[in-house]
Amino acid sequence: MANYSTSEFRGGLKIMLDGDPCNIIENEFVKPGKGQAFNRVKIRNLKTGRVLEKTFKSNETVAAADVVERELEYLYADGAFWHFMDSENYEQYQADAAAVGEAVKWLQAQDRCQVTLWNDAPILVEAPNFVVLQVTETDPGLKGDTSGGGGKPATLETGAVVRVPLFVQTDERIKVDTRTGEYVSRVKD
Amino acid sequence: MSAASKTDWRPGASLQAIRARAQLLRRIRDFFAARDVLEVETPLLGRAFGTDPAIAPLIVREKAKDETWYLQSSPEFYMKRLLAAGSGPIYQISKAFRQGEVGQRHNPEFTLLEWYRPGFSAADLMRELADLMQHLLGITLTAQTRTYAACFVQYLQLDIFAADTEMLRACAVAQQIPGAADLTLARDAWLDLLWTMCIEPQLPSTQLTFITDYPASQAALAELNVHDSRTAARFELYYAGLELANGFQELTDATEQAARFHADNAQRKRAGQPVLPLDARFIAALQHGLPGCAGVAVGVDRILLAQSGLSSLDQVQTFSAERA
């Protein structure tokens, strides 16, 4: 894999840092007129999601990280791994629990997910922004209440629990924003 | 390089910023005309280049003749040749080039105002620079002067004359400069790091701050101080959080100048940087005799930033490197 010089640093560049693939979020060039130049960078570790800052001496080189983002279709879980497929070339990938992370709460077969691949292996799976899931269990709400004021917990078919308005009933399908984990609307077929 | 987009052809500077530059240039010329300082022009394409290891040249090669030209990082050597030839006080507004300097406050091509005053001390020139800033910005500005070493004491409780490389490194780590513990730097580079990360952001932004008496190891082309040879008669101006100017009581000793060139080149060699040819014509001019003088270079684009409150050079240059 290639190396990058600090002069190539820019937002979105993928580099290796302490053995982990990272994404440069921000790069600032700092230099006194008559002195040493530095690059102060804000970096996201793509495995842990943690953001850290780092200072490089300008013109140092770092290894490039072989990281690509793909839209993959979620197929199934086998207990140990979650399996995905690239619908263009039918290539399959298996992601472990660390890579799937929070997305596990929302995944349903045939969902199209943004998957970050490092050296061709998934390291980060993002659920679709919106998913439609069936309510498997929720307390019966008060009849006639359509305000959605107080809300109540509802368990969905994937096991996720979200707050829903009182009028939502078991077996209904609802739309959820996976980024916030919030109920959006009921879905009528 | 950024991918070309449909709006890439547009200038980064607004029409207002373009007009502000025109007005600033006019005011600079008015200021020096009133003081009988002669405007001059010197080559941008030079056969030699300063040896300062912190400045990398943009090189132009003429293949047919197998010749190498250097885009000048400052008009300093040429202007000193004019002074040695008896020009008297001179100023120049010119483009300057520095390879690899790209950022919010850096562009590989930028505009410098540089002037020289025979018979002036560094203190005289700092006063004139303060007058110029008032004239350009049109506001009353108070000025204060602090030594480089005093800033380290004030902001970092560090005595730079006593501190070795290890102590500077420990200070950078204690100041939580991200990644400081992983850096391998020469002594002056540690000073540069502490200065830019910890001191510069704390300098007052609403008054002119002159920093004087830089360490002798960072003298560049300044005379060493007679009263304390650990420091040099080099000064800088900070305002609005920006490094705006660098000036010297100019080194006039040809032998000392040649020795500094050789020392710079030795340092370049150690760092794996290209060794640069010595500017023999410049040395010859010093041997002929450079009048005692002070000189200063001011970043014109950065004055426009300070004036406008904008944050990036791209907003005050018509076409920064990204758009060129």
CATH number (domain holding residue B216): 3.30.930.10
Per residue in B7-20, pLDDT (tens digit) is: 789 999 999 999 99
Per residue in A1-20, pLDDT (tens digit) is: 699 999 999 999 999 999 99
Q: What is the Cβ-side half-sphere exposure of residue B62, based on CA atoms within 13 angstroms?
A: 10
Q: Under an 8 A CB cutoff, do A57 and B183 touch? A: yes
Domain count of the fold of chain B? 1
Chain A residues whose CB is inside 8 A of the B197 CB are 30, 38, 40, 55
Provide the token pair at B300.
Answer: 């014109």
**pLDDT of A146 above 60:** no
Max distance between CA atoms of chain B, in angstroms, equals 60
Distance CA B112, CA B55 (A): 15
Chain B residues whose CB is inside 8 A of the A52 CB are 178
**Range(s) of the domain holding residue B47:** 15-142+207-315
Q: Give the SS3 label for residue B147.
A: strand
If you ran DSSP here, which 8-state letter would residue B201 be given?
G
Distance from CA of A3 to the nearest CA of B (A): 17
Tell whether B198 is covered by a domain. no
Quote ipTM for the complex. 0.92
Tell whether B219 is covered by a domain. yes
In this prediction, residues B41-49 reach a mean pLDDT of 96
Distance CA A141, CA A145 (A): 8
Q: Which residues of A touch B (CB under 8 A)?
A: 7, 28-38, 40, 52-59
Q: What are phi and psi of B294, to 5 degrees?
A: -120, 145
Distance CA B2, CA A11 (A): 11
Residue appearing with tokens 């406008």: B308
Chain B residues whose CB is inside 8 A of the A19 CB are none
Distance CA A94, CA A96 (A): 7
Tell whether B3 is covered by a domain. no
Contact B84, B116 (CB under 8 A): no
Helix axes B254-270, B280-289, angle to 10 degrees: 150
What does DSSP say about strands B293-299 and B109-118: parallel, antiparallel, or unpaired? antiparallel
- All structural domains of chain A: 3-63 (2.30.30.30), 67-126 (2.40.50.140), 130-187 (2.40.50.140)
Per residue in B272-310, pLDDT (tens digit) is: 888 998 899 999 999 999 999 999 999 999 999 999 999
**pLDDT of B1 above 50:** no
Chain B residues whose CB is inside 8 A of the A28 CB are 103-104
Q: Under an 8 A CB cutoff, do B100 and A7 touch? A: yes
Chain A residues whose CB is inside 8 A of the B186 CB are 36
Tell whether B154 is covered by a domain. no
Distance from CA of A41 to the nearest CA of B (A): 9
CB pairs under 8 A between A and B: 77
Per residue in B148-162, pLDDT (tens digit) is: 999 999 999 999 999
Per residue in A105-141, pLDDT (tens digit) is: 999 999 999 999 999 999 999 999 999 999 999 998 6
Model pLDDT, residue A48: 86
A175 contact partners, CB below 8 Å, separation of at least 6? A130, A131, A132, A183, A184, A185, A186, A187
